[in-house]
Amino acid sequence: MLRPYANPSYARGLPLVAIDLLLFVAASVAVVEAPGIGLKLLASCGLGLMLSRLFVLGHDACHQSLTPSRRLNVWIGRMVFLPTLSCYSLWQAGHNIAHHGFTGLRGRDIPWVPLSPEQYLALSPGQRWLYRVYRSWWGAGIYYGLDVWWKRQIFPKGTIRPVFLWDSLLVTGFLVLQIGAYVWAAVSTGQSPLLVFGLGVVLPFLLWLYMAAIVFYVHHTYESARWFDDEDEWRAAQPNLEGTLGTHLPLRIDLVLHRALEHTAHHVNPAIPSYRLAAAQRALEARWPREVPMREITLHRYCAITRTCQLYDSIKHQWLTFKDVEGVPLAMGVRQPAIDKHKQTRGAYEPPR
């Protein structure tokens, strides 16, 4: 049904890349040239938005959905990932293979995989504190920066393929050139190099971390979202259809992010480019209205989700809070029969016996 939407176009993809790169350069120049700290801060926030938009286009290129040319997609993806200091090949391995291949399967999927009560209680006090920070309303960017970007997107670890190493060197070289350009521009214009570097590199990067983290969070975290430990159960559940969520933001801010929150259609068919996702998502909603609901997420609603969706019992298919399980003795490794697939239970957590 979605195959007609999986139709990348040079006429649609290339202008988007050109426009966003020009806006990125313009915002970078404005950080240096804008008079007064207020306008510089505004330019810096705009630069953070452009990092997010470029990352979405790189995400499309990595799925080979931006343009019809595979080779062109690879080089565009590498280029537009540079401002977010993300390695194209490392992202491809983690996102395309692990996340899209095992969406909602704990132990294989990344990111935002919730811990089970047993896993959480087995952590040290320091590890529990960090996990609680990650799942707080204000900790999303910290989680994405430490657990995703630093561990998976900048330096290769484990089996190091040559392409991983070259991409990492490319990103590192870009950062060095970027820092040098801002320092030179600051000195040439009689400004503080530390201020210009902070507004040109640090603040936009932090804003991108938070935008990326929150977008990825709402894609797969909700009171009705389900996670699995059992692969057979997971395969029978159609995780790409029922385990991914479409979202609208207030004032339709999601439109500025290249439709990145029209997420169900993307998971059902990753070959659909972002500029065709809205039509594909509407087609899914019309065909499966119960399985593919569209939600409105406000800041208040997002905070409520972070308070409710903290731990996940994949046996009972039940979201839990930290208060539900702290102080409750658990028999590790004991499984219980799963509840009905469409029921969500709340209340006091009962540990396995």
The Cα–Cα gap between 121 and 330 comes to 8
Q: Give the 3-state secondary structure of 33-68.
A: HCCCHHHHHHHHHHHHHHHHHHHHHHHHHHCCCCCC
Amino acid at 81: F
For residue 339, tell me if it sits in a domain.
no
- In this predicted structure, what is the pLDDT of residue 329? 58
- In this predicted structure, what is the pLDDT of residue 340? 35
For residue 343, tell me if it sits in a domain.
no
The Cα–Cα gap between 140 and 131 comes to 11
For residue 78, tell me if it sits in a domain.
yes
- In this predicted structure, what is the pLDDT of residue 236? 87
- In this predicted structure, what is the pLDDT of residue 136? 96
- In this predicted structure, what is the pLDDT of residue 265? 92
Domain containing 167 equals 3-325
For residue 35, tell me if it sits in a domain.
yes
Radius of gyration of the chain (CA): 21
- In this predicted structure, what is the pLDDT of residue 66? 97
- In this predicted structure, what is the pLDDT of residue 298? 92
- In this predicted structure, what is the pLDDT of residue 246? 85
For residue 336, tell me if it sits in a domain.
no
State percent of the chain over pLDDT 90: 77
In which residue ranges of the chain is pLDDT below 50? 331-349, 351-353
Tell me whether strands 294-296 and 246-248 are parallel, antiparallel or unpaired. parallel
- Which tokens sit at 11? 């006429």
**pTM (global) more than 0.85:** yes
For residue 40, tell me if it sits in a domain.
yes
For residue 305, tell me if it sits in a domain.
yes
- In this predicted structure, what is the pLDDT of residue 328? 64
The number of distinct structural domains making up the chain is: 1
- In this predicted structure, what is the pLDDT of residue 324? 92
Question: Contact, 161 vs 89, CB < 8 A?
Answer: yes
**How many other β-carbons are positioned within 10 Å of the β-carbon of residue 284?**
21
